[in-house]
Amino acid sequence: MNRLLVISVLAAAISGCRTTSDYNVSIRNVGGSVINDAHVSYSDFQSVGGIIVPGGGCKHLFPDHPIPETATVEWRTEDGVMHREEVEVLKLVPKGFRGDIQFEIDDDNSVTVRLIPEQPE
């Protein structure tokens, strides 16, 4: 019985099967100013982040959490003001989605959620 379990786990690992999350969380600065202290959080998850230059981004690979209904995006603008935006996520994501859930921060301090599907190899 134990051998069957070990074989199943190894087969899943070898095939590239990711059982917890088939998505990444990314933050992209689509504005023209540097943003600081940027991160996305939900449940007890908090993404990598930090300083993001205009046009730049950062990515947290395969968070060990299901896709949330909502997420909180926080960042500090160049004037030192901390911003916080709650955004809906789950209702935007189709069943079986694999790829990046990208949180785009613009100069008007708006956050847009964009899905970037995984490209087949």
Query: SS3 sequence, 59-119?
Result: EECCCCCCCCCEEEEEEECCCCCEEEEEEECHHHCCCCCCEEEEEEECCCCCEEEEEEECC
Confidence of residue 13 (pLDDT cuts 50, 70, 90): very low
Residue 61 lies in a domain: yes
Helix (H, G, I), strand (E, B) or coil at 14: helix
Q: Which domain holds residue 92?
A: 20-117
Whether the pLDDT of residue 51 is over 80: the answer is yes
Would you say residue 5 lies in a domain? no
Burial of residue 27 (CB within 10 Å: 0-12, 13-18, 19+) is: buried
Structure tokens, 14: 């070898």
- Segment 43-48 shows an average pLDDT of 90
Q: What distance in Å separates the CA atoms of residue 64 and residue 25, rounded to the nearest whole number?
A: 11
Share of the chain above pLDDT 70, in %: 83
pLDDT digits (tens, 9 = 90+) for 77-101: 999 999 999 999 999 999 999 999 9
- Per-residue pLDDT, 21: 66
The size of the chain, in residues, is 121
Pairwise CA distance, residues 115 & 121, whole Å: 18
pLDDT value, residue 48: 78
CATH number, domain with residue 86: 2.60.40.2890
Average pLDDT over the chain, rounded to an integer: 86
107: in domain = yes
The mean per-residue pLDDT over the stretch 34-54 comes to 93
In tens, the pLDDT along 16-41 reads 444 446 899 999 999 999 999 999 99
**Encoding tokens for residue 96?**
């079986």
* Residue 12 domain flag: no
Residue 6 belongs to some domain of the structure: no
Domain count for the chain, please give it. Answer: 1
Q: Is residue 102 part of a domain?
A: yes
User: Would 13 be classed as within a structural domain?
Assistant: no
